[in-house]
Amino acid sequence: MNKTLSFVKLDYMTIKTYLSWKTVLLFLVVFAFMGYGTGEVSALIGVAMMYSTIFACYPFAIGDKNGIDTLYATLPITKKTVVTGRYAFSLLLNGFMAAASFGVSAILMPAFGKTFHLKTTLLTVLLCFALFSILEAVQLPLYFKLGYARAKFLAYLPLAVFPAAVLGASSLLGKGRMLPIIESILTWSQNNIIFTAVFAVVIWASAMLLSGVLSFRFYQKREF
């Protein structure tokens, strides 16, 4: 555990220069623009989590550029530590951005004359955290198998496809006969919230575990 936490700190130090006040200011400007333009808290939180997903790949990009993985091979750092540390870093970064987006939303929405709904916003944060961490669970095995330079196109593809798929599905469902079925499922989920929550956590944990196992196997086979 201590080695994993030390590696998380190492990843943070690696990208620390990119997390400057200019980056934070840009983040807040984009947040304010989205809040004023859409008035939708889901848009704010979605943008924040997208930033988190982009930042999560920075250690891979920097590692490829500077040959850091080769350095790891000469140090008492096992490949298991690299993989678990990288996943822990990504999840902690997601958690930080989720909490930050919740806090900023609580400030900006009333400032723009919009109603801030605590339960809805919290649910949106949790949903975005789960969805974007699963997107990262798709990306990370690619980075560990191919390296950043070779994997970046495939890894970034879900970020482009996912929003389009959600919008397309929403449009189709709104016009089709599936909408009543979806509404029934949502109503049932709300009435059985504990079962729904447990089921969602199991699915999320299974996806992360499968991703981690694949990443470890791929990284073990790479030579530096």
144, 150 Cβ separation under 8 angstroms: no
Rounded to two decimals, the pTM is: 0.84
Mean confidence (pLDDT) of the chain: 81
d(CA 134, CA 140): 10
- How far, in Å, CA of 189 to CA of 144, rounded? 36
Residue 37: CB atoms within 10 Å: 10
Q: pLDDT tens for residues 76-127?
A: 788 899 999 999 999 999 999 899 888 888 887 777 777 778 888 888 888 8
Whether residue 77 contacts residue 7, with contact meaning beta carbons closer than 8 Å, is answered with yes
CB atoms closer than 10 angstroms to residue 121: 19
Q: How many domains does the chain have?
A: 1
Confidence (pLDDT) at 174: 53
pLDDT at 27: 72
Q: Is the pLDDT of residue 64 over 70?
A: yes
Domain containing residue 183 = 2-221
SS3 116: coil
Greater confidence, 163 or 173?
163
Confidence of residue 167 (pLDDT cuts 50, 70, 90): low
Tell me what pLDDT residue 173 has: 54
